[in-house]
Amino acid sequence: MPQAHSYSKPTSVYWTCKALTEGQTISQLTQIQNVKGWRLPAVIHRLKAEYHWPICTEYRQPDGVAFYSLSPDVDRATLRFPKSAEALGHGEDCA
């Protein structure tokens, strides 16, 4: 089944998973700068709801921008990955 236009691009999902597993703290602005993606909150929601990733959200003032990071105590070997980022779960870097 083709990917619906309302879903995030596979490159955005891959980039988000890679950045988080590398210990980065990311925001919508960093996603725009890196992969021109506009759906970071949707990707984060999916990772938390479907894949049970322990993602921390911090709202920074004065604009209340959300910054996301992976919980520091997570065992990265136990994470499940979306299809477009499965290679990361096997230690591969496709980007």
Query: The domain that contains 20 carries what CATH number?
Result: 1.10.10
Write out the two tokens for 4.
């619906």
Rounded to two decimals, what is the model's pTM? 0.83
Q: What is the pLDDT of residue 4?
A: 45
At residue 61, the pLDDT reads 87
pLDDT in tens, the chain (95 residues): 444 444 556 689 999 999 999 999 999 999 999 998 889 999 999 999 999 999 999 999 888 999 999 999 999 899 999 999 999 987 765 44
**Total count of domains within the chain:** 1
Q: Is-contact 82 17, C-beta < 8 A?
A: yes
Asked if 17 contacts 10 with a C-beta cutoff of 8 angstroms, the reply is: no
Q: Look at residues 92, 91, 52 and name the one whose alpha carbon lies nearest to residue 71.
A: 52
Residue 90 lies in a domain: no
Find the domain containing 25 and state its range.
10-85
In a domain, 2, yes or no: no
Query: Which pLDDT score, from 0 to 100, does residue 5 have?
Result: 43
Distance separating alpha carbons of residues 86 and 66, to the nearest angstrom: 26
For residue 34, tell me if it sits in a domain: yes
CA gap 80, 35 in Å, rounded:
22
- What DSSP designation does 88 have? H
Q: What does the pLDDT read at residue 10? A: 67
Helix axes 40-49, 10-21, angle to 10 degrees: 70
Answer yes or no: is 4 within a domain. Answer: no
The label of the residue with tokens 């990707």 reads 43
